[in-house]
A = this chain, B = another copy of it.
Amino acid sequence: SRPPCSSTDNTDSCSTGESSRESSRCSTPGPDADRADRLREKMRRRIESGDPWFSLEFFPPRTSSGAVNLISRFDRMGFGGPLFIDITWHPAGDPGSDKETSSMMIASTAVNYCGLESILHLTCCNQTKENITAHLSKAKRLGLKNIMALRGDPLGDSWEEEEGGFSYATDLVKHIRCEFDDYFDICVAGYPTGHPEADGYHADLKHLKEKVDAGADFVITQLFFRAETFLSFVKDCRAIGITCPILPGVFPIQGYQSLRQLVKLSKLEVPKEIMEVIEPIKDNDAAIRNYGIQQAVEMCKVLLDSGVVPGLHFFTLNREVATIQVLRQLGLWIEDPRRPLPWAISAHPKRKVEDVRPIFWASRPKSYIYRTQDWDEFPNGRWGNSSSPAFGELNDYYLFYLKSKCSKDALLQMWGEELTSEESVFEVFTNYITAQANLSGHKVMCLPWNDDPLAPETNLLKDELEKVNRRGILTINSQPNINGKPSSDPIVGWGPPGGYVFQKAYLEFFTSSENVTALLKVLRKYEPRVNYHIVNVQGKNLTNAHDMQPNAVTWGIFPGREIIQPTVVDPVSFMYWKDEAFALWIEQWAKLYEEESPSRMIIQYIHDNYYLVNLVDNDFPLDNCLWQVIDDMFDLLDAPPEPLQ
């Protein structure tokens, strides 16, 4: 029941717009069918199976460090399993720009780097059609698939229609459908107590009906304070023929000031029974928040029990605690998230078939996504294909979503105010592995190659890793071998239930050229069980592996599916990773120190002289032999020199 572009529309703008459907390229359904669906399809399936969801609303940050924090929050809150998040449009903040803090870039980051299904808000007042089309084209180009179409508030006090612009959200919905056909899923706002500027509640319902008839897929409501307000609103919507999903906007009260501000903006009245509780405790933030959580939980229970609410939409105010608490109490927060793949997926539509990556970027998935953002396809066939499109350059180490969350001071405390020898670098690596405080009392929480503390899986190898790092095997990536653990395994499991996951043992480290010489001798004994790639910063490359053939090191077998092999050691991309891995020594570590300082020269020396080594033990059903390889190498180095004959 989607209306065609009306004949009174400007046909010019219709024909020049991008009227494109999803490509008809067929492919095997991915490991996660849900991932390939558009938002309205996901909603349809959840409604059919009676499986309520939640979603989270954020606003764009004001500062670039605020952006870094918000994106970490996306990662953390993403684990809880929101069906989608949405980013408000902030007209005063240059919302369509490339600034790190713009609505557009925040939404793009959420989709591309955090793998979150996201809705970008878009307001139409005070904007030209051309402007709006440009925003939508850019959103599409960035991989955004969902728009919340809003009128927005006029900038001044009085409403002035922009020439050639739109007066109502309905016009914006029509415009999106006309210019972009069915590409976007469109959400519109509902006002359970009527829009403040509409001529009454029923006139406003009629406007909502028009917006839906114009092509909106679902409705998210403005906040409200009583469940019955929303429930009677839904009843009235259904009565006039609005049949799409209507999602309640839930606002857990988080503080006195934020409540007052929001109420002022939305021109809502806070019910007396709530004000009576809040006023006496208005200076006690914790008490108000606890009340807000309790109040929200109770209201949400009524909503869910009503049978007409398929999902709950939370206005988070960019905060975590209250919303997560409410969701936990409702049992909607996923405590033990199942990973669809062993790495963090991206929600960009062109990446929805992506099911394999090189293991090298395991701790830097955002960097991998960034460097491959210009690729057109993400098939298996790319691996081992030297003619595949190149990886993007990583010149801009200050790219905000790749930035360390730590300050320079914090990094110096962790990695050493002053380095005196290569051994002091070994110590930093060892302290990272053991998570123990260093001599100056600071825990090493990250390394240039690892933004976060040791993964639970890597922790399985902790003792061996500690031992070898002490001796200058500076590990940056590793995984244990796994011979068929259930896909539900809390540490190494991933993928749909009922399957089995497998891994080949993997170890990647920097080490000195002396060690490499001994290692190469030792590795001869481990042919063909162990594959290696050994490379220095100049690109000198030693390997016993096929120069094109990738080695699958993580795979899973699932009921009724093809094999999934999400992680490979790929000889071609290893050369690109090598550049990045070596550069991080300089960009993230050496540059902490003054030029020509001894500390900086030590890091520079390692950068210039060490090799990056990766080892795969192909015999996954047997005990991991890579530790034995390293032991043999040290034995060889420790052996007395052969006597002269």
Q: Which residues of A contact B (CB under 8 A)?
A: 24, 26-29, 33, 379-381, 383-388, 483-484, 498, 500, 502, 528-529, 531, 545-546, 548-552, 555, 557-563, 565, 568, 616, 618-621
Contact = CB atoms under 8 A, between A and B. Distances in A.
B618 A548 contact: no
Residue in A28, A385, A560 whose Cβ sees the most chain B Cβ within 10 Å? A560
A560 B531 contact: yes
B529 A498 contact: yes
A621 B498 CA distance: 12
Contact of A380 (B28, B385, B557): B28
A619 B560 CA distance: 10
Given A27-B385, A387-B26, A484-B621, A560 B551 contact: yes
Given A529-B559, A531-B560, A546 B502 contact: no
Given A483-B484, A498-B528, A563 B559 contact: no
B383 A548 contact: no
16 contacts: A24-B387, A26-B385, A26-B386, A26-B387, A28-B380, A29-B549, A379-B381, A483-B484, A498-B618, A500-B621, A531-B560, A545-B560, A550-B562, A551-B559, A560-B616, A563-B565
Given A24-B387, A28-B380, A557-B620, 11 more contacts: A28-B384, A33-B546, A484-B621, A500-B621, A502-B557, A528-B560, A531-B560, A551-B560, A552-B557, A552-B563, A562-B568
A545 B618 CA distance: 33
A383 B561 CA distance: 11
Contacts of A618: 498, 558-560
A552 B27 CA distance: 16
Given A27-B381, A28-B380, A381-B379, A551 B555 contact: no
Contact of A549 (B28, B529, B555): B28
A275 B310 CA distance: 96
A32 to B, nearest CB: 12
B560 A563 contact: no
A8 to B, nearest CB: 38
A387 to B, nearest CB: 5
Contact of A385 (B28, B384, B555, B619): B28
Nearest to A385: B26
Contacts of A27: 381, 384-385
Given A549-B28, A557-B555, A621-B500, A562 B562 contact: no
A568 B502 CA distance: 20
A545 B27 CA distance: 17
A563 B563 contact: yes
Contacts of A383: 28, 562
Contacts of A546: 29, 33, 560-561
A123 to B, nearest CB: 40
Contacts of A548: 28-29
Residue in A24, A387, A500, A557 whose Cβ sees the most chain B Cβ within 10 Å? A557
A482 B38 CA distance: 38
A561 B557 contact: no
A561 B546 CA distance: 9
Nearest to A531: B560
A568 B28 CA distance: 13
A561 B28 CA distance: 22
A246 B545 CA distance: 33
A624 to B, nearest CB: 15
A484 B621 CA distance: 8
A410 B485 CA distance: 52
B380 A562 contact: yes
Contacts of A484: 483-484, 621
A617 to B, nearest CB: 10
A64 to B, nearest CB: 41
Contacts of A558: 618
Nearest to A356: B562
A550 B562 CA distance: 6
A550 B28 contact: yes
A384 B29 contact: yes
A483 B620 CA distance: 13
